[in-house]
Amino acid sequence: MKKGLHIISSARGDQSYSRGLSTAIANKLIDKNDIDVLVERDLTKSPPPFLDGTLIGEFYKFPEMIDERGKQLLSCANEIFNEMNQADVIIIGTPMYNLGISALLKAWLDQLVRVGVSYKFNADGTRTGCLKNKKVYLAIASGGKLAYWPKECEYIESYIKAVFGAYTGITDISTYRIEGTAEQNFTANYEEIIQSL
Ligand SMILES: Cc1cc2nc3c(=O)[nH]c(=O)nc-3n(C[C@H](O)[C@H](O)[C@H](O)COP(=O)(O)O)c2cc1C
């Protein structure tokens, strides 16, 4: 049984194009039998807390040092990691905000990535990611188009690939974009964007 996880990070509900695109991807994967069951995590409904000093302290404790209070503080991080660990396919939708990912998605990533949990250090100082055999589909919505910008201003796909590769072990990432959503008379054609899927 192939499990899918759908991460939604735009606050615009049904108006959101990143949500529309990630939903179209999830539905196509279900139609193709690449996913049998789908779990939805709408970050707008349960926003992951921003990291603070106390939580960072818990992140770096050995498991046997974590007391009941620590377990409570880590409950969101553990839930996020467990959902990722159980999923075979992860579909992530994000708006482009100021060239980057949404703050909700960043907060989710900061809960997911943990030394000793999502990755481990090897004796020679290199890292090994702990999330194996997973496929990620990244759906990005932007008001403008990447083509308007110099190449070095592509931050979202490159960032997600870098952080997943280094700190989770996930390297199989396909990106789909819906661009120009702020243009006059814009209409979304999700099927056309994902026709190669
Ligand atoms: C705070 C904010 C910042 C934005 N920054 C950018 C940007 O840097 N580049 C861009 O092309 N569009 C930008 N946009 C437009 C959004 O990317 C666009 O509205 C997109 O459709 C949002 O995704 P959503 O439809 O899933 O909510 C911004 C929108 C907001 C509200």
The DSSP line for 45-69 is TSPPPPP-HHHHHHHTS-GGG--HH
CA dist 178 and 181 (Å) reads 7
pTM of the model: 0.97
Answer for the pair 108, 84: CB distance below 8 angstroms, yes or no.
no
Give the pair of three-digit tokens for residue 105: 């998605």
Of the pLDDT bands very low, low, confident and very high (cuts 50, 70, 90), residue 83 is: very high
H helices of the chain, in order, are 17-31, 53-59, 68-73, 75-86, 103-112, 156-167, 190-193
pLDDT at 62: 87
pLDDT at 69: 95
What spacing in Å lies between the alpha carbon of 99 and ligand 1's midpoint?
8
* Nearest CA residue ID for atom 7, ligand 1: 98
What spacing in Å lies between the alpha carbon of 66 and ligand 1's midpoint?
40
Of the candidates 28, 11, 9, the residue with the CA atom closest to the CA atom of residue 193: 28
Q: What is the mean pLDDT of residues 36-44?
A: 98
Q: Which atom of ligand 1 is nearest to the CA of 144?
A: 11
* Per-residue pLDDT reduced to its tens digit, 139-155: 999 999 999 999 999 99
**What domains can you pick out in the chain, each with its CATH number?**
3-193 (3.40.50.360)
pLDDT at 143: 97
CA dist 167 and 134 (Å) reads 14
Ligand 1 mutation target, pool 140, 145, 181, 183, most atoms within 8 A of CB: 181
Q: CB within 6 Å of ligand 1 — which residues?
A: 10, 12, 16-19, 95-99, 141-144, 181-182
pLDDT at 63: 85
Q: Bridge-partner residues for 4, per DSSP?
A: 38, 89
* Per-residue pLDDT reduced to its tens digit, 89-104: 999 999 999 999 999 9
* Nearest CA residue ID for atom 4, ligand 1: 97
* Nearest CA residue ID for atom 31, ligand 1: 97
Ligand 1 mutation target, pool 94, 142, 159, most atoms within 8 A of CB: 142
* Per-residue pLDDT reduced to its tens digit, 6-26: 999 999 999 999 999 999 999
